[in-house]
Structure 1
């Protein structure tokens, strides 16, 4: 059985979302509502949520702006013209987010009407994002993008902070963090 996110992205926007939308062994609602022991913070206490997404052969970072109903997409691998077309790879996420938030009680806790349409998405301008120049560093870039967002560094400063040449050092630092603390975050 396909995960609902994959089912939705396969069939597109005309596929109705039925409730319950999650199979019994899926922890998504527990994660969003904060009742999962590993993630005890409910989304309604957050302004945004970072979601690493695999587009099949590449990792991107989605920053979900919960109240705005918007997703910012950070992509480290753009075409020769500096353009990213990964928005076409995340329709399932955009269509499923309103249902996830509704079923988890997000809108109820926020005392706001639920989004009735899919979230919108926007590419972060690739010319201001550090870019990879190989075919296998996307995961390290996603981790570094997430770190810079979490620590509040302005997007305008990212190009000066790291690039492809720094990826081996970034990988070593992540490995050390996992080894010392037993986890990445």
Structure 2
């Protein structure tokens, strides 16, 4: 689960891709070392080179020349992912690809495309290296067709156009990690920050705080509940220093005149959300792993009591309020160890519109891409 800054230890494992490997006289792919590494900003995969047929090797161009050619062609995979099948077809027809080339192409794909391609090619199977490449090509074509169809999990949601997808891909593409690609609300979002929105990466404070500010901006429009959202640092400061440590955090803001107050919470290695509804006098704790947060609700109510005494000179009767942790069956739950930050953001998004939490784990890849676009354009779809 994520840390506050989105950090994560690297880990390795071996994966078996079965019949994808080269044919007779070569090392099967099932025995190749496949190293998968994840970090807060990216995911990449590298397949070790097989033992090559000496006769075939002699017919190939010098490796230094071949590698540079493949690298030039593969660069476009990041900037224009919808052209993947066409580019791969060009390589097959006009060059002399082997599994080192396949490795290079895999390395330029996103985690989602790579796994779908490998899974499809594995199911289709291949007996020889040449047949394996053809099957791989067919898998890419099938993926291209699939990606141009509306995803069933995205029905009823704002569609992402091809132009939007290209912008998203470009945001994930190579560049300086510290390059600022969106700046607003006194928050700078760097390329490194935006890459925490890649699939299975952990969201960091900057991305979540930027998104909370987008929710506040939207709430100023007619038809939305009035909203205040604290930063991800608020609850930590409250717990460590008490009310006096955060007394000035609401300067210029009357919490009790808001319809909703959202509190993103970081628990060492997990993101959760507390939602305060001033209209209904409720404090709800939402945890995508189904854990209880009764103590957190109590801490926030105590904060509200002190805030009321300090700013309004009024008591806040406990008997009038309801504090509760939402049960797992009442709210969407995550099914991996990576999406708690995304669930926090989407809980906040739906609650700030007074909408039921009608989303699931299957929506998260779409929501991640959508959030990239929203942060780049500083507006919500």
Please state which band the TM-score falls in when normalised by the shorter chain: 0.5 to 0.7
> What is the match of residue 283 of structure 2?
71
Indicate the residue corresponding to 1:61 in structure 2.
273
Measure how far apart 1:69 and its partner are. 4.8
Conservation of the 8 A alpha-carbon contact between 1:5 and 1:96: no
Match of 1:169 in 2: 366
| Matched residues, number | 145
Per the TM alignment, residue 174 of structure 1 is displaced from its structure 2 partner at its CA by: 1.0
- Aligned residue number for residue 17 of structure 1: none
Task: Give the secondary structure class of the aligned counterpart of 1:170.
Answer: helix
Q: From the two aligned structures, give the one with the greater helix fraction.
A: 2
Map of 1:114 onto structure 2: 315
Q: How does 1:25-44 map to 2 (within 5 A)?
A: 27-30=248-251, 33-34=252-253, 42-44=254-256
Query: In terms of Rg, which structure is larger?
Result: 2
Q: Could you say which residue in structure 2 is the equivalent of 1:12?
A: none
Could you tell me which residue of structure 2 aligns to residue 22 of structure 1?
244
Q: Deviations over 1:53-76 (max 9, x none)?
A: 122321211111336653111111
Match of 1:126 in 2: 328
Could you say which structure has the greater relative contact order, defined with CA pairs below 8 angstroms and 6 or more residues apart? 1
TM-score, length-scaled by structure 2: 0.34
Q: Deviations over 1:45-92 (max 9, x none)?
A: 2232111112232121111133665311111112xxxxx323234543
Q: 1:99 deviation in Å? A: 0.8
CA distance in 2, matches of 1:60, 1:127: 16
When normalised by structure 1's length, the TM-score is 0.64
User: Which runs of 5 or more structure 2 residues have no equivalent in the other structure?
Assistant: 1-235
Q: Which residue of 2 aligns with 1:16?
A: none
1:124 deviation in Å? 2.0
Counterpart of 2:354 in structure 1 is 152
Distance 1:27 1:136 in 2: 33
Tell me if the contact between 1:58 and 1:138 (Cα under 8 Å) persists in the aligned partners: yes
Quickly say closer, same or farther: Cα 1:68–1:99, change in 2 above 3 A: farther
CA contact (8 A) 2:285 2:297 kept: no
Alpha-carbon RMSD: 3.0
Deviation by residue 1:75-127 (Cα, 9 ceiling, x = unmatched): 1112xxxxx3232345432322211233233xx5xxxx412659652012320
Secondary structure (helix, strand or coil) at the match of 1:3 reads helix
**1:103 match:** 310
